[in-house]
Chain A
Amino acid sequence: MNFSLPYLSLLIALPTIGAALIGIFRIKDENQVRKVGVLFAILTAALAILMAVNYDSNSYSALQFVEKYNWIPAFGTSFALGVDGISLTLIVLAAILVPVVLIAGWKESEGQRGSVRQYVVLTLVTEAMMIGVFAATDVFLFYVFFEAILIPMYILIGRFGGARASYAAVKFLLYSLVGGLLMLVSLIGLWVISKEQFGAGTFDWIALQDLQIDGTTQNWLFLGFFIAFAIKAPLFPFHTWLPDAAGEATPGSATLLVGVLDKIGTFGMIRYLLPLFPLAVDYFRPVIIVMCLIGIIYGALLAIGQSDIKRLIAYTSVSHFGFIALGIFAYTSQGLSGASLYMINHGFSTAALFLIAGFLISRRGSRFIEDFGGVAKVAPLLAGAFLLAGLSSLALPGMSSFVSEFLVLTGTFTRYPVPAIIATTGIVLAALYILLMIQRTMTGEPSEAVRNSVGELNTREKVAIAPVIAIILVLGFFPQIVLNVVNPTIDRVMILVGATDPLPTQGEN
């Protein structure tokens, strides 16, 4: 299997070309714009799946499908792409979700401040940059994508969102910019150290792992990266932008934002923090674990108190990101596997929640839970799909999230029993916020307004949501599909950071 396409460049190029075609030919007809957009998104997804099939999960090399082109030699930076197991799965997640989002949100860009054309173009541009972020193996290139992606996302939130969209968009942008600039300082520091130690500055991720950095410097550099990632992820207390942004954005953009974009934060933690700053990770671990625990509980409690469906889903994500980060910083291979799997599962189950909530909201014209009730009677299929998505989100066994949550908790328990026990309460609270929401929106007698406005899923919506539900179920029963790809990478990370799994607790003889 030596035949190799430049998969990653193509994956970045395809959506860009699609966006450019729509932009250059200024296609007037809205349906045609959407069809071209969906076509390119599906092509990208197909290519991503083809790449995943060709990925050799037994290989010992750190990165596959490596490409490298000189960019700014003076800064030692190059256009370098490559994937490991974790980034591969995230790219596939992004590539699958974009066509789903475009189809599900067929109508949501109509009657907004921006035009349908802008919406499709921006979504495709966002996709290209998301793939770029996950594929970049040059830290500078990663930073460029990390920052550049803010612009299309910012416009998507601001021009297509709800009444307070511009406030939410600015909040999103400013939070992200602050994080990005802090990361820039660390990036510069890293580069200067590489210049001192190697003679010439470099941003090559693999080369940077050979740096010998003393503890204090590591701590400072770590903080720059960590705060950027913690804002992106978002971890408590950097999470306050998320409910606003996800609440105001269209359901499609919210899906991409929470489902994929926020994974850049947790992905960055595994990709950059653990291998580059192992001493600092050790130093800050207790604080981070406390942050994760607060996030898990606090996000869940706030989710219970929400009256707006989209904000509720956003807060559940704050809680879930706490789990993901907990798995990462527990430093066990189970925890890391769980976290990596969780990133994928969370992507799909949040997508299902946001998109179906979007169907509901567009029918009823309201985001508030109190305006619903009894939907199950008038639209049983819609209610059933929502229930499934909800159950996946609360990690019911048989659903994909269950496996990942279980792995995170067992992985954490072997090293940190008390935090693991505290985190478990998050599961109980998850059942509460999801089931309460479903009870209040789906069950009971439908009001006159609901009866008149909420109808059953139409074909387009079914087509959009079916693959997501299918993936949730398949991954629930066969998590090995993802785990097989991810685990070799995790083993490498564990070796790199010099961590070993604690022995299982033995009973007294």
Chain B
Amino acid sequence: MSTALLADITAPNINYYMLAPILVVLGGAVLSVLVEAFYPRESRRSAQLALVLTTLAVAFLAVLNIKADSILGFTVVNSVAIDGVAVFLQGLIILSAIVGALLISENRIDPLGDAFASQASALPGSQDEQAFTERGWYQTEVWSLFLFSVGGMLIFPVANDLLTLFVALEVMSLPLYLLAGMARRRRLLSQEAALKYFVLGAFSSAFMLYGSALVYGFANSVELGDIAKAVSSSAANSNLMLVGSVFILIGLLFKVGAAPFHQWTPDVYQGAPTAITAFMGAATKVAAFGALLRIFYVALAGMTWDLSAVLWAIAIVTMLVGTIIGVAQSDIKRMLAYSSIAHAGFLLLGVIAQSKTALDGSLFYLAGYSFTTLGAFAVVSLVRDASGEANHLGQWAGLGKRSPLVASIFALFLLALAGIPLTSGFVGKFAVFAAAYEAGLAPLVIVAVIASMIAGFFYVRVIVLMFFTDSSNDDVSVVVPSFATQAAITITVVATIALGVFPQPVIDLLSTALLLK
């Protein structure tokens, strides 16, 4: 009996080339754990940094290899789909991760060390904490967690069945929950953020898992292609499928930070170490929107009509919540968090529009947005006073006078977020809005434009503060960062301008990128 069963199980056919980027990153993560265990503490930090950067570089080459040889298709029993979109998203996530790693490695701007607690397990304010800080320890486990998270992000947008999607979600999120709680300064705020993120994240994961179960009940399969077939072939409109898909969407919308599942965003963006916020704000958004696009375009394409009312409402609420509440913020990181919510709303237009142009537009938008976000948070980490980062908007007054270069760079990022022409933000917005208009979503485009106006107000307000307001506090200064952060800022500035002025190469790249169904 058992032998008969065993005979039925054939070893899955695995194409290692297709999986190479994921395997390299996860392998690097395992190595990083070993380094943590066996490497002497003094040189651990530099070893980890070298390992991480090498891993990411090799992973990027692996992505390029897939692209060059176009070895596309499904693998591992159809649970992973490597297609043009997947290659683009993976490449983008790895690039964001490289910039993120450069930012995480920063240890010059804070006199005490890097942005992470010397020993995250030490109680805030305790003598232990002080002792570890004085010893100058680094919490190098950050790097292992970081790589695991990147690995999860690489799987998330290529997952072709709901279970892989769920596993990827957890691999991506769990390390992030931890990383969010490890800030060196304002530790209680950071830990509170981590706990909030974890509890709400677990809650939404549960929704997603339950939704997957319901959808399985309807379609008798967890594969996206089979679900699509089941949706199109079933004559009766099943409530099981409807509820299931809404639950899955809740899980994904939580990750992209769409209202009303956005509550965690401002707290986590504010509490997490800024380098982590930068990485998370960029790469998680890319991974989560990648997954959302795939689920929606592949599995739920036949459900558009049933889900449209819900999605319209969510998109409108997200855009308005992000921008209107964003206006009332006085903390720069919270303001950028609300801005990220608004951008999630704009991107939802590309999800709803359901067309090739909308897909291309959304991917371009993600590319522009991720670099701009990384850059903006990198600049945020440089403006400091004696107690750490100066995040209150009032402390940014008059920055343009003291550090014109840094203020101008930040202004560039704000203008890109606002979608002013000649920045990547404008091209992305244009591409997504045009696709949405084409798909008959003109009312949503008008709401999006109104939201952009409101958002324009709070971006401009920061520029006014920096350039036109005289400062009252002289203890705030811009710290000269290490070479790594300088490189990260340079990369993001160049990307923001290049994608805004000469977007054509990227658009060409995207026009050939298809979704496998």
Contact = CB atoms under 8 A, between A and B. Distances in A.
B333 to A, nearest CB: 23
A189 B437 contact: yes
A143 B427 CA distance: 12
Nearest to B415: A151
A189 B460 contact: no
A305 interface: no
A148 B467 contact: no
Contacts of A185: 433, 437, 445-446, 449
A181 interface: yes
A270 interface: no
A169 B504 contact: no
A165 B434 contact: no
Interface stretch (B58-66, B236-244, B450-458): B450-458
A267 interface: no
B434 A188 contact: yes
B468 A158 contact: yes
Interface stretch (A5-13, A70-78, A250-258): A70-78
Interface in A142-173: 143-144, 147-148, 151, 155, 158-159, 165-166, 169-170, 173
B467 A72 contact: no
Nearest to B439: A192
B453 A159 contact: no
Interface string A197-225: 00001000000000000000000000000
Interface in B441-471: 442, 445-446, 449, 452-453, 456-457, 460-461, 464, 467-469
Contacts of B464: 158, 166, 169-170
B420 interface: yes
A177 B459 CA distance: 12
A188 B468 contact: no
A385 interface: no
Contact of A177 (B437, B446, B456): B456
A184 B504 contact: no
B350 to A, nearest CB: 14
A497 interface: no
Contact of B421 (A147, A155, A166): A147
B128 interface: no
B461 to A, nearest CB: 8
Contacts of A62: none
B503 interface: yes
Given A72-B504, A158-B468, A166-B468, A192 B422 contact: no
A177 B434 CA distance: 19
Contacts of B504: 71-74
A422 interface: no
B421 A143 contact: yes
A117 to B, nearest CB: 12
B502 to A, nearest CB: 8
Interface centre among A73, A177, A188, A201 (most CB of B within 10 A): A188
A72 B503 contact: yes
Specify the main secondary structure of chain A where it touches its partner. helix
Interface string B458-502: 001100100111000000000000000000000000000000000
Contacts of A155: 467
Given A74-B504, A74-B507, A148 B421 contact: yes
Given A173-B460, A174-B457, A181-B449, A188 B467 contact: no
How big is chain A's contact interface, by range? Answer: 20 to 34
B452 A181 contact: yes
Contacts of A71: 504
A433 to B, nearest CB: 32
A191 interface: yes
B173 to A, nearest CB: 35
Contacts of A174: 453, 456-457, 460
Contacts of B507: 72, 74
A113 interface: yes
A188 B508 CA distance: 20
B438 interface: yes
A151 B420 contact: yes
Contacts of A73: 504
B216 interface: no
B511 interface: yes
B430 interface: yes
Contact of B511 (A74, A143, A158, A184): A74
A272 B182 CA distance: 56
Given A72-B507, A165-B468, A173-B460, A144 B453 contact: no
A166 B437 contact: no
A181 B503 CA distance: 21
Nearest to B445: A185
Contacts of B431: 75
A202 to B, nearest CB: 13
Given A74-B511, A148-B422, A188-B430, A158 B460 contact: no
A189 B442 contact: yes
A431 interface: no
Contacts of A74: 503-504, 507-508, 511
A166 B469 CA distance: 8
A192 B433 CA distance: 10
Contacts of B421: 143-144, 147-148
B116 to A, nearest CB: 38
Interface in B502-517: 503-504, 507-508, 511
A470 interface: no
Contacts of A151: 415, 420
A71 B504 CA distance: 8
B453 A181 contact: yes
A314 B288 CA distance: 51
Interface in B283-338: none
Contacts of A113: 401, 468
B438 A192 contact: yes
A178 interface: yes
A182 B449 contact: yes
Contact of B434 (A148, A166, A192): A192
A166 B504 CA distance: 37
Given A144-B422, A148-B421, A166-B468, A184 B433 contact: yes
Contacts of B434: 75, 188, 191-192, 201
Nearest to B401: A113
A501 to B, nearest CB: 37
Contacts of B456: 174, 177, 181
Contact of A192 (B415, B437, B446, B467): B437
A178 B453 contact: yes
Nearest to A161: B468
B250 to A, nearest CB: 31
Interface string B176-208: 000000000000000000000000000000000
A271 interface: no
Contacts of A75: 430-431, 434
A169 B468 contact: yes
Interface centre among B437, B438, B452, B468 (most CB of A within 10 A): B468
A73 B468 CA distance: 39
Contact of A188 (B445, B461, B503): B445
B97 to A, nearest CB: 28
Contacts of B508: 74
Interface string B154-180: 000000000000000000000000000
Given A178-B453, A184-B430, 8 more contacts: A74-B503, A158-B468, A173-B460, A174-B460, A185-B449, A188-B437, A189-B442, A192-B434
- 10 smallest CB-CB distances across A and B, nearest first, come from A166-B468, A144-B421, A74-B507, A192-B438, A188-B434, A181-B449, A158-B468, A147-B421, A188-B437, A177-B456
Interface of A: 71-75, 113, 143-144, 147-148, 151, 155, 158-159, 165-166, 169-170, 173-174, 177-178, 181-182, 184-185, 188-189, 191-192, 195, 201
14 contacts: A71-B504, A72-B504, A74-B504, A75-B434, A148-B422, A158-B464, A158-B467, A170-B460, A173-B460, A177-B453, A177-B456, A177-B460, A185-B445, A192-B434
